[in-house]
Structure 1
């Protein structure tokens, strides 16, 4: 008994010691938000005020000092995120995570992002402000790397510290650009459908691209007043940081606002992860001011505002990636055919370092069109060499100058000049200012192929007939400045025509854009509060209509009592996705069953490329309305040709049966919150157990769903459980009638350091649709409890 007591006493002491040591380490490892530090590479004192959500308000005497300080404070909150971001595009994740990420490294290492970065850096103007301030930012990051507290993740996975360079910045640009690309999944699928199933199957899919569209029109006014005063599917799923996906934005002109000033709104949709993708910061010098949202290792904000103007972005989704079939010399596979004759491939030998394993090497052949993707993309299964031609690596890269320019504009004309330099990814750049101007610019290097050639199918690389004929001048891109409607908007939908034709792309269906127009058009007295409510809207303008169109083919008389009740609930649904709603649960299961029973028999294993894709979203509305379709027949039933009614009736009955097994017999209990949830996953928290509890944030119940304004993106699959994977990466509302009280919110928090008080402090507010202030008032800022003074280091 004495032994047991002594053992328990010792155990208790050990537990207490471990708790105390853990608590002491958490205090030691937390970022430094107050006090004094000596900083190299600054010429004068810099004062950083951290507000109540951890946003640094950097007050400096000059921009160079401000950007050194930004680099330092950004690194102390997000160094782990920076490390992951720079490793993706260069194919270096296996080095810290092991063999499970080799295929990710092969894929990104083969794309040519690093090679394009090296080529661009050689040509940079090292005397430009964009370059000099970027170097200043990197110096701040590297001082923290050398002298600051090492993030716990570095110890856990064994990261060897390496200085950050300009190449790392361009690797992040490259990753960001590719994460927008959709063609790498869709083009191989459409080509397979054409070659294996035939033209009839293909055309039913392709014809939908010109149907069911909400299009914002091009509009260019004659006069503007705007001068300011100074002041792959599985591969992508494996990524430990957030790919870019979609977005909403709308800007309302004074003619439709209560206070007769512009109101700006933006919520970019990005895959959820922890930490959040954006790092908020506010820089103020005697000559310059910007409140910005930066991606890790990007010195200049892609979203920002000040007292003069605001800007943001959504994904344009234009087609900037094509595949070419190369024809190799049968006598020498290192040569391929061109219009001018045989040409040698460029050979890139790549090495991947793997944690705990021997290095592995692979070789990439590169034609004039780009890298040969056979073996790099798993679903490119073809005996022919397939080259990927990606605008990002093919054309000069001016993204550093773009990001500097849009954050340092002195006029609308100045701003437009900067966005005209964007080549890839294609972006809808949204704009509003204190001079009452609003604008939307589809910014990308648009191009033309010969007539009747589809960029969504494999092109002929040997003949020379399928080459890009012309790159269009920016003035021909769809855009609008101060249109008569008094608003501009973007939700990744089809933009206006270019040279009389709809420009090809992988645009989202009209769901969100239609809802935005429904809310904006009738009202002429918008307030900031109205827009805050609108950005959290969870009503679909199309889902309820799709559901009712599906129900038209259901034989209600053949249904059970439960089936008839479910029918009635879905029939009366207005498209709202609330926690207590039952209809979204029925609709999404019905949708999965419908898609599976319509397409899986023909597509087989490629059904996984189709479901949850932009192509699936695009064809859905039209397919539901078709009475006759080559896709209705189940090819596995040889002696029978199925009809639309049979497919839909089977799908609805399967839906009821599945939900009864999953959620019980009582349909009133099939509420949306029982099947949908959200968890913000950290790269290490994905391992589960205690690491999940320490690093991940969640899981939580949520409202919203696919393609509503509060876009909670999830995948339809056989489980009937919807784990939200992406959504608004921030929500911002900027009111030029009350600029100092503009608001925003992040999904979790400002810091990526698990020991920071700002790691997840915004989470519940975000889930509730609440906001926090983006402070610009200097008197208010200087009342901050946490003040960090950075002094020049001798």
Structure 2
């Protein structure tokens, strides 16, 4: 018995030691927010104050020291995110996640981002300040890699930490450029429809600009005045498996002093990006004697894409311009190494890439290149057929100065310096929003735009042989859409159609007018805006369009064909204001019925797979309102019933009944239970959170959430056969800056500042975000030092 007691005692001691060691180890993996650290190459000590939400406020005596420390603190909270982001362009995801990501790696390698990066680096001025600050930032990251704790994700995946280089920064920016592109999902699909069904079907889709919708107006007082669906499927599959968020859309508006209560500019911005954990942005406030910026950083990128100081504020939304074109090529009849041009036959370029696959052998693949770009046939299984299709992407066509542009706008001190940096942005196309303490408000569409021959639709696959469908010229930046201090006293962007560019309507994948219409409606109706009113507006969940759509769909419904409960629902729909609180019943039914209307209208022609791909395009979103208003149309007829021609009324009635039945099956007969909060939820998924046992540790949520797609509080979701609306994208941050109260700006992140699951800042903003709350963007040095919870001092190496 004594021996047993001793054995149990020893076992308990060993267990205690094991738990203690485990606790110490776990604790060692958390970010360091206080104490003192030596950083080689620092010239002078740097103080970092971490506020209540883990935002670093960096005080340094020179810019290089500041950026070196920024790199270190950014890495300790987001190294795993940096690692994934730098891997996308160079096909490195299979090494982390295994063979499921091989097709995604092939897809991104074929885009040529990594090759373009190498060309850029070969011509880079290594002595310029942009490069020196970038290198300082990288030094900080690499110092953390050398001496800091390894994030838990590296243990789970078996990855080794390796140093970061300038190549990684450029590759990360390149991924950002592609994640805006909608052409892969749209152009081949439209070509397919044209080839199979003809021009009449294409004519009824919202492909071209709609003059009836709300456009962004230009104002510058300085001016004088037969492929299959395979390519679409390839892109869809590659992007669905991508373990990183994609840039989707955004809102921003800047209100001039004439329309504000305190006579100062108010700036608002909420970029819409796919939700993931960690969230996209890392907040950092950097202050030196010559530079100050409260900025929002992408993982591994030194210069903030969003930012403000006491002089100016800037933000971005997606321009949505068309910067990718597809071309049919023609092989030489007897020599497969050549392709035809208007000047004769030219040699294909041949590219071979190698992919490392986790727990497997290296995989090599090859593809051809033409003057237009990579030939997509053979890159993925979905792209078959003999007729080659090449992709031309503006990002890889011209000199890459995007990082120079980000440096320029970060360092600008006024509107003139700021605008001088914008022509260096060639891709992705961005709506750049600006406001300052002097009262200026401005919007520029920043992109390298090009003119195509008249009457040529760039939404279809083009003729790559004749030379007659090539770009005619690049537009000068002065011809880009813009509005500087317009007489209506505000500027805005909601990814909608801009007004004419150089005398033409520029092709793009613009989103419908829904958000734009609501933004203009609210801004026009008020001339005494303050921070509180803008914070309410940025959370607005009302659609000006959806009640019109549902009203148009149900106005011909025969009441005698409905039961009592259905008539009650019809009355609720008729009185619906288009809002999406958690308790909304009309909102739930609207989206159920809209899905079935779309399915019953398009799936018979497109088939299940193409219909699924159609649902993922901006074209579909643009199609909903005008399509619902069309009394007569070729798409209404169900081609699977050749002896009968269906009408709009029949499709709508069928869809109404299917929506009703599906909601009954899910929630019962009591329509009061059909609430929006039961179908509309938000969960921030981590790549490793896909493992069921680790889900609760890595993922954040799910939460029932108000809002919807294409309202200002744009919490978007895909339509699919589940008939549930799991939010996939939305405001990646909400920012409000009032220049009459610059030290009390408002912001929020979707989850938290840290990407480290062991940090207390991993999810500490998640419920605030869902509840529509804000935190303060602290700018006052005295207040920061007084209220900050932790101080971390970096010193030069002794």
TM-score (norm 2): 0.96
Contact 2:612 2:720 in 1 (8 A): no
Q: Distance in 2 between matches of 1:222 and 1:385?
A: 46
Match for residue 478 of structure 2?
475
Match of 1:665 in 2: 669
Give CA-to-partner distance per residue, 1:563-612, whole Å, 9 cap, x none.
22222222211110111111111011101100000000000121111113
CA shift, 1:658, in A, is: 0.8
1:319 has 2:322 as partner: yes
Q: Which of 673, 686, 691 lines up with 1:687 in the alignment?
A: 691
The residue correspondences of 1:476-515 to structure 2 (distance < 5 A) are 476-515=479-518
Instruction: Give the conservation status (yes or no) of the 8 Å contact 2:185–2:616.
Output: no
Q: Does residue 23 in structure 1 map to residue 27 in structure 2?
A: no
2:628 to 624, 630, 633: 624
Question: 569, 574, 578: which is aligned to 1:571?
Answer: 574
Kindly indicate whether residue 160 of structure 2 is the aligned counterpart of residue 156 of structure 1. no
Seen in structure 2, the aligned counterparts of structure 1 residues 37 and 645 have a Cα distance that, compared at 3 Å, is same
User: Aligned match of 1:351 in 329, 335, 354?
Assistant: 354
Q: Which runs of 5+ in 1 are unaligned?
A: 224-231
Q: Is the 8 A contact 2:206 2:622 kept in 1?
A: no
Aligned length: 785
Distance 1:339 1:393 in 2: 23
Could you say which residue in structure 2 is the equivalent of 1:562?
565
* Aligned counterpart, 1:700: 703
Q: Given the alignment of the two structures, is residue 338 of structure 1 paired with residue 341 of structure 2, yes or no?
A: yes
For residue 541 of structure 1, report the CA deviation from its aligned partner: 1.1
Q: Contact between 1:208 and 1:618, CA under 8 Å: does it hold in 2?
A: no
Q: Render the CA deviation track for 1:5-61: whole Å, top value 9, x for unaligned.
A: 999999988876665444333321111110000001211111111111111111111
8 Å contact from structure 1 (residues 130, 401) kept in 2? yes
Question: How far apart, in 2, do the equivalents of 1:16 and 1:602 lie?
Answer: 66
Match of 1:723 among 704, 721, 726: 726
Identify if the C-alpha distance between structure 1 residues 262 and 357 changes in structure 2 by more than 3 Å, giving closer, same or farther: same
- Write out per-residue CA displacement over residues 172-209 of structure 1, whole angstroms, 9 at most, x where no aligned residue: 01100000000011000000000011110011115653
Q: Which residue of 2 aligns with 1:219?
A: 219
For 1:300 and 1:556, locate their aligned partners in 2 and report how far apart those are by CA, in whole Å: 60
The separation in 2 between residues aligned to 1:613 and 1:286, in whole angstroms, is 47
**Alignment-derived partner of residue 178 in structure 1:** 178
1:590 corresponds to 2:593:
yes
Deviations 1:507-530 (A, max 9, x none): 000010111111111101101011
Distance between the aligned counterparts of 1:55 and 1:524, measured in 2? 34
Q: Deviations over 1:738-785 (max 9, x none)?
A: 000011110001001111111111111111111111111010111222
Q: Secondary structure at the match of 2:268?
A: strand
| Alignment partners' CA distance in 2, 1:696 and 1:294 | 22
- Cα pair distance change 1:48/1:646, threshold 3 Å: same
Tell me which residue corresponds to 1:750: 753
Residues 717-750 of structure 1 deviation map (CA, whole Å, 9 limit, x = unaligned): 1111111111000000000000000111100010
- Post-superposition shift, 1:261? 0.1
In the alignment, the residues of structure 2 paired with residue 22 and residue 649 of structure 1 have an alpha-carbon distance, to the nearest angstrom, of 62
- Give 3-state SS (helix, strand or coil) of 1:742's partner: strand
- Structure 1 20/703 Cα, relative in aligned 2: closer, same or farther at 3 Å? farther
Structure 1 residues 405, 6: CA separation in 2 closer, same or farther (over 3 Å shift)? same
Q: CA deviation at 1:385?
A: 0.6
- State the distance in 2 between where 1:726 and 1:383 align: 37
Contact 2:61 2:288 in 1 (8 A): yes
Could you list the per-position Cα deviations for residues 677-724 of structure 1 after superposition, in whole angstroms to 9, with x for gaps in the alignment?
1111111112222x1111111111111011111111111111111111
Residue 92 (1) aligns with residue 95 (2):
no
Task: Name 1:52's counterpart in structure 2.
Answer: 52
Query: Structure 1 residue aligned with 2:616, among 612, 617, 629?
Result: 612
Q: 2:400 aligns with which of 397, 421, 443?
A: 397
Q: Which residue of 2 aligns with 1:42?
A: 42
> Which residue number in structure 2 is paired with residue 227 of structure 1?
none
Check if 1:533 corresponds to 2:525.
no
- After superposition, give the CA deviation of every residue in 1:234-258 in whole Å (9 maximum; x if it has no partner): 3212111111000000000000000
Any conservation in 2 of the 1:562–1:656 contact (CA below 8 Å)? no
Map of 1:197 onto structure 2: 197
When residues 7 and 640 of structure 1 are mapped into structure 2, their CA distance, relative to the original with a 3 A threshold, is farther
**1:288 Cα deviation (Å)?**
1.0
Question: For residue 739 of structure 2, what is the aligned residue in structure 1?
Answer: 736
RMSD of aligned residue pairs (Cα, Å)? 1.9
1:363 partnered with 2:366: yes
Q: Find 2:522's aligned residue among 516, 519, 524.
A: 519
- Asked whether the equivalents of residues 104 and 237 of structure 2 are also in contact (C-alpha less than 8 Å), the reply is no
Matched residue SS, 2:743: helix
1:439 aligns with 2:434: no
Query: Using a 3 Å threshold, how does the CA distance of structure 1 residues 7 and 507 change in structure 2: closer, same or farther?
Result: farther
* TM-superposition CA deviations, 1:81-130 (whole Å, max 9, x none): 00000011111100011011111101001110000000011111112111
Seen in structure 2, the aligned counterparts of structure 1 residues 381 and 567 have a Cα distance that, compared at 3 Å, is farther
SS, match of residue 209 in structure 1: coil
CA distance in 2: counterparts of 1:578 and 1:186, whole angstroms: 32
